[in-house]
């Protein structure tokens, strides 16, 4: 939401949304110093909650250095060292979106540092899986890291950007799976509903990708409309778009909608 205008907050509120959950993200360019991340983390934990509140929305966030900026391990270590001083802010849900971009050795090392941080502070984890042809390999690598960590519990991890060829392995391993609705590189509402019909709604949720590129804050309401168009009952739709995120996020003591 740091890249969106207040018009989007207003549209979300009018569509019936009650909260937004914003991951630490790539800014569209590589930041030049860890100090840039310090200011970014302040923006996520101080400015955006106040901006969202003007429209009756709760704003929650995740903290990390995004995989697209994780190739420089020394730089990433400096950024990760900043996170503990923000982790107790009342709108922080956990560590994310961590993961892989190009499946490189350096990205793997930074992923493991993030996972250790989440375990040390008992935080929820949000994981980014690579796009397109790297997704299957990257998802397997990520699952190996998470399953081999002695203090990571699958029910406290959501692996995002799943597609038809990765959703099964994520669910089979006991993790939550996120279907990211995005016009270009991820998933359309119709494909997401297809996956729900094939795999059921247990530990699956939908999220709208909203950033500086072509994206749609109202993709989740549009997916709800697609479910209704196909004849799914209201309790099924509500369970996917509201019940599932609430169930997962309520594992964080900071997630309160009242």
pLDDT for 179-201, tens place per residue? 999 877 678 999 999 999 999 99
Query: In this structure, is residue 167 part of a structural domain?
Result: yes
Q: Tell me how many domains the chain contains.
A: 1
Taking the C-alpha atoms of residue 157 and residue 94, their distance in angstroms, rounded to an integer, is 10
Name the percent of the chain lying above pLDDT 70: 100
The model's pLDDT over 226-248, given as tens digits with 9 standing for 90+, comes to: 999 999 999 999 999 999 999 99
Query: In this structure, is residue 256 part of a structural domain?
Result: no
Taking the C-alpha atoms of residue 108 and residue 122, their distance in angstroms, rounded to an integer, is 21
Q: What pLDDT is attached to residue 133?
A: 82
pLDDT category at 138 given cuts 50, 70, 90 is very high
Q: What pLDDT is attached to residue 240?
A: 97
Query: In this structure, is residue 142 part of a structural domain?
Result: yes
pLDDT category at 70 given cuts 50, 70, 90 is very high
Name the percent of the chain lying above pLDDT 90: 91
Q: What pLDDT is attached to residue 258?
A: 74
Query: In this structure, is residue 258 part of a structural domain?
Result: no
Taking the C-alpha atoms of residue 177 and residue 194, their distance in angstroms, rounded to an integer, is 14
Work out the average pLDDT over 113-129: 98
Tokens 């949720």 -> residue: 205
Above 80 in pLDDT, residue 132?
no
Query: In this structure, is residue 178 part of a structural domain?
Result: yes
Mean pLDDT, rounded, of the chain: 95
Query: In this structure, is residue 130 part of a structural domain?
Result: yes
Q: What pLDDT is attached to residue 28?
A: 87
Least confident of 17-21, 55-59, 132-136, 253-257: 132-136
In angstroms, the Cα distances linking 62 to 76, 96, 145, 192, 195 are 16, 5, 20, 24, 26
Work out the average pLDDT over 13-22: 95
CATH number, domain containing residue 234: 3.20.20.140
Work out the average pLDDT over 54-81: 97
Query: In this structure, is residue 1 part of a structural domain?
Result: no
Above 80 in pLDDT, residue 85?
yes
pLDDT category at 30 given cuts 50, 70, 90 is very high
pLDDT category at 212 given cuts 50, 70, 90 is confident
- Do residues 242 and 206 lie in contact, with contact meaning Cβ atoms separated by under 8 Å? no
Structural domain boundaries, residue 179: 6-249
Query: In this structure, is residue 257 part of a structural domain?
Result: no
């Amino acid at each position: 939401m740091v890249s969106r205008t207040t018009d989007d907050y207003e549209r979300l509120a009018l569509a019936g949304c009650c909260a937004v959950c914003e991951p630490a993200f790539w800014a569209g360019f590589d930041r030049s110093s860890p100090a840039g991340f310090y200011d970014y983390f302040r923006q996520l934990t101080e400015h955006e909650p106040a901006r969202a509140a003007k429209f009756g929305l709760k704003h929650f966030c995740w903290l990390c250095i995004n995989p697209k900026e994780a190739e420089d391990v020394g730089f990433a270590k400096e950024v990760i060292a900043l996170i503990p001083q923000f982790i107790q802010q009342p709108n922080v849900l956990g560590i994310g979106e961590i993961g892989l971009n190009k499946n490189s050795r350096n990205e793997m090392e930074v992923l493991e540092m993030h996972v250790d941080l989440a375990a040390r502070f008992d935080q929820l984890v949000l994981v980014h899986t690579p796009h397109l042809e790297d997704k299957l390999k990257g998802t397997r690598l990520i699952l190996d890291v998470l399953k081999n960590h002695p203090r990571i519990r699958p029910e406290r991890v959501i692996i995002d950007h799943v597609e038809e060829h990765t959703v099964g392995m994520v669910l089979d391993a006991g993790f939550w799976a996120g279907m990211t609705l995005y016009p270009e590189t991820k998933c359309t509402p119709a494909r997401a509903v297809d996956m729900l019909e094939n795999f059921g709604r247990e530990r699956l949720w939908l999220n709208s990708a909203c950033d500086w590129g072509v994206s749609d804050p109202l993709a989740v309401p549009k997916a709800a409309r697609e479910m209704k168009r196909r004849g799914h009952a209201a309790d099924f739709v509500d369970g996917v778009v509201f019940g599932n995120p609430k169930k997962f996020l309520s594992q964080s003591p900071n997630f309160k909608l009242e």
